[in-house]
């Protein structure tokens, strides 16, 4: 019987992390915790199933065992061998490096076949005045930026944006970005670890060494023509008195929605596509044919594509992420056109028309 899967978190101790995930209710190991990889089939941090008969099995092996019954009939064949998504909790206790990610084509050619990295952030909490770097200032060309790097004047070329709890930040490959200090978030991304650092504030690690930069690759992949800012709260519909559903982003790599529930939400995994729920607030119980599963917020749960009907009960907020396909797109368009015009809808749809 297919059933909802939980996983053992994979913790990363990068120098900019802290202990702020404890404030969400997570029990942490000792030391600095910068990231918790919640659901991952990437070799740099493999998820291990922690519940039920499949406990102890690596996610990759589970997907090979169950194939399209787990991943979905409408999901591309390549994702049977390479799971497409990676979900993280991130504690930016200090500012992160200024960085950029490659797209699929560049990563395939230059990063041993990695996926590119398009990602989104959902801000769980932000200290007053917390900012992110998002994109370059209008008019900054490749040559201008190259000279700024040589002169160590990068910060003058960057756009800064204050963020607040509930903000949704969409970051396509090619957009320069960085988290500032005092932000805790969920990151949903392509399953890739291809990151090109442009600037790291001249920091050193515990051994006095600076982290490497990747200037040449960064200059090749930065989209100097893209001056847009992708910040929103999503598009929200109240389904009934108990459930509000917001579409946060629809792009060629993934779809993310926010569920705000005080009662019951009923779903059905009919075989089209898997989905991931990342519970970020409240209390919840997930009930399926396999029984009841209490959720320890913050926690992520994998729903196999052919699991069948299930119900989530409680008072909670959860992000639901899954893979884009034309059926999903059309369903969401119909859903949103009940309440929004085309201009508003385009704010959450990127690169899919």
Cβ neighbors of 178 (< 8 A, separation 6 or more) are 95, 96, 97, 98, 99, 132, 133, 158
pLDDT for residue 227 is more than 80: no
Domain ranges of the chain: 7-232, 235-345
Spell 287-299 as b/e; 16+ CB within 10 A means b: bbebeebebebbb
Kindly report the CATH number that applies to the domain delimited by 235-345: 2.60.120.10
pLDDT for residue 353 is more than 90: no
Encode pLDDT of 287-339 as tens digits.
999 999 999 999 999 999 999 999 999 999 999 999 999 999 999 999 999 99
pLDDT of residue 270: 96
CA torsion sign, 102 to 107 to 112 to 113?
A: positive
Tokens of 155: 């910060």
| Residue positions annotated with a catalytic role | 197
The yes-or-no answer to whether 7-232 and 235-345 have a common fold is yes
Question: What span, in angstroms and rounded, lies between the C-alpha atoms of 280 and 25?
Answer: 10
Question: What span, in angstroms and rounded, lies between the C-alpha atoms of 36 and 20?
Answer: 12
Q: Which CATH architecture describes the domain 7-232?
A: Sandwich (2.60)
- Tokens 């209710």 — which residue? 25
Q: Are 175 and 161 in contact (CB under 8 A)?
A: no
Burial (CB count <10 Å: 0-12, 13-18, 19+), residue 319: buried
Terminus-to-terminus CA distance in the chain, angstroms?
A: 38
Encode pLDDT of 234-285 as tens digits.
999 999 999 999 999 999 999 999 999 999 999 999 999 999 999 999 999 9
pLDDT of residue 229: 80
pLDDT of residue 314: 98
Question: What span, in angstroms and rounded, lies between the C-alpha atoms of 216 and 145?
Answer: 12
- What confidence tier does 76 reach under pLDDT thresholds 50, 70, 90? confident
- What confidence tier does 65 reach under pLDDT thresholds 50, 70, 90? very high
Cβ neighbors of 201 (< 8 A, separation 6 or more) are 95, 97
């Amino acid at each position: 019987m297919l059933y909802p899967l939980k996983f053992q978190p994979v913790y990363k101790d990068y120098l900019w992390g802290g202990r702020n995930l404890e404030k969400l209710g997570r029990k942490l190991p000792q030391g600095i915790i910068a990231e918790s990889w919640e659901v991952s089939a990437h070799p740099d941090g493999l998820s291990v199933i922690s519940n039920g008969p499949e406990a102890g099995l690596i996610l990759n092996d589970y997907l090979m065992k169950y194939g399209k019954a787990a991943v979905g009939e409408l999901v591309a064949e390549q994702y049977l061998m390479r799971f497409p998504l990676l979900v993280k909790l991130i504690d930016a206790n200090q500012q992160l490096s200024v960085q950029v990610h490659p797209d699929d084509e560049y990563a395939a050619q230059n990063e041993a076949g990695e996926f590119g990295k398009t990602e989104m952030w959902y801000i769980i909490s932000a200290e007053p005045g917390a900012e992110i770097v998002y994109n370059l200032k209008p008019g900054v060309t490749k040559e201008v930026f190259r000279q700024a790097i040589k002169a160590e004047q990068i910060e003058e070329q960057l756009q800064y944006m204050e963020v607040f709890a509930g903000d949704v930040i969409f970051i396509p490959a090619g957009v320069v970005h960085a988290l500032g200090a005092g932000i805790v978030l969920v990151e949903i991304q392509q399953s890739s670890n291809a990151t090109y650092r442009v600037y790291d504030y001249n920091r050193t690690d515990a051994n006095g060494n600076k982290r490497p930069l990747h200037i040449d690759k960064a200059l090749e992949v930065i989209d100097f023509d893209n001056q847009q800012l992708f910040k929103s709260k999503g598009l929200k519909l109240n389904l009934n008195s108990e459930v509000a559903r917001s579409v946060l982003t629809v792009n060629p790599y993934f779809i993310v929605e926010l569920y705000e529930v005080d009662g019951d939400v009923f779903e059905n995994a009919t075989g089209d596509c898997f989905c991931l729920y990342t519970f970020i607030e409240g209390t919840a119980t997930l009930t399926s044919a396999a029984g009841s599963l209490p959720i320890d917020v913050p926690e992520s749960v994998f729903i196999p594509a052919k699991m069948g009907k299930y119900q989530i009960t409680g008072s909670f907020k959860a992000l639901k992420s899954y893979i884009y396909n034309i059926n999903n797109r059309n369903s969401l368009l119909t859903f949103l056109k009940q309440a929004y015009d085309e201009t508003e809808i385009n704010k959450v749809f990127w690169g899919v028309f």
